[in-house]
Amino acid sequence: MSYPNGTQPISLISSNSSISGVEKHEKDHYLKINPTTDLVNFTELKFKGSIPYLDIEIPYSDPNHKLNQFGFVYKKNVNACLYKDLAKVVIDASEVAFTKYGWKLKIMDGLRVVEAQQNMYFAKERNNWPEDLVSSPGLGAHPRGMAVDILPIDAITDQFLDMGSVYDEFSSRSSRNYEQLSDEQKMNRNKLDSVMRESAQRNNIKLFELPSEWWHYNLEESFYSKYKPVSDDDLPDELKMVK
């Protein structure tokens, strides 16, 4: 999920992120993400065997998925895409996680087009959930492909590790500040943060975490806020997420 409030830095390395491949959006003065040059399609990379230490599972593409509390968000068989700078961090982190801990990493969500975020917002309204549970459509890093929800799994068993809460759990247990965790749960959270930090630093990219979600990492707001949020109509047919 995505929240409208502040985030907490985990890397203070200055970002040298390039804006090549984007064009100035004349109407609203945002930079516009070019799907061809700026987005990395992880589903395609997985099919090609190029990311052996990364798996993909998108609960929001299945209204009946046990981890999807929103109903219809994406169409079936949606691609998992990330902005190129974040993609570097995630790929590198998966290699570090495997080497150090015998883990693979599983992408649960990345680019979330405006229409999909609207679907989530409607679900919040229908269920009278707290106002800050879901960002308004177009806000945050997910609609720019600049946030990732990522979980560690055991590379041998492919089972999720115990992190103290399940993905997208609407409870205080999902918070990074939640204290009633076992030693194993604390260790697993610290390890996940450490591989993401190390990879961000190695790629000289500034990365932030969301205090309320231990699984969420995003590029800095001063960077992603320069870009126009991506709508389904901005994507080529093979990457469309809702239609």
Residue 107, pLDDT > 80, answer yes
Q: Count up the domains in the chain and report the number.
A: 1
Q: Are 56 and 149 in contact (CB under 8 A)?
A: no
User: Could you tell me if residue 15 is inside a domain?
Assistant: yes
Q: Poorest-confidence range of 59-68, 98-107, 120-129, 185-194?
A: 120-129
DSSP conformational letter for 227? B
Residue 8, pLDDT > 50, answer no
Report the predicted TM-score, pTM, of the whole model to 2 decimal places.
0.89
User: Could you tell me if residue 1 is inside a domain?
Assistant: no
Q: Are 192 and 182 in contact (CB under 8 A)?
A: no
Tokens representing 152 are: 């560690």
Of 92 and 23, the structure prediction assigns the larger pLDDT to 92
Residue 23 pLDDT grade (very low, low, confident, very high; cuts 50, 70, 90): very low
User: Could you tell me if residue 33 is inside a domain?
Assistant: yes
Q: What is the rounded distance in angstroms from the CA atom of residue 70 to the CA atom of residue 88?
A: 29
Q: pLDDT value at position 15?
A: 33
DSSP conformational letter for 127? H
Of 87 and 3, the structure prediction assigns the larger pLDDT to 87
Mean pLDDT of the chain: 91
Q: pLDDT value at position 95?
A: 98
Q: Are 9 and 221 in contact (CB under 8 A)?
A: no
User: Could you tell me if residue 76 is inside a domain?
Assistant: yes
Q: Could you give the 3-state DSSP secondary structure of residue 183?
A: helix
pLDDT mean over 203-210: 98
User: Could you tell me if residue 20 is inside a domain?
Assistant: yes
Question: 66: domain CATH number?
Answer: 3.30.1380.10
User: Could you tell me if residue 2 is inside a domain?
Assistant: no
Percent of the chain residues past pLDDT 90, beyond the cut: 86
Range of the domain at 141: 8-239
pLDDT mean over 165-187: 98
Q: CA of 23: how far to CAs of 34, 125, 164, 223, in Å?
A: 8, 35, 42, 15
Q: pLDDT value at position 12?
A: 29
pLDDT tens digit string along 113-150?
Answer: 999 999 999 999 999 998 888 889 999 999 999 999 99
pLDDT mean over 224-228: 97
Residue 51, pLDDT > 80, answer yes
Of 13 and 59, the structure prediction assigns the larger pLDDT to 59
User: Could you tell me if residue 3 is inside a domain?
Assistant: no
User: Could you tell me if residue 178 is inside a domain?
Assistant: yes
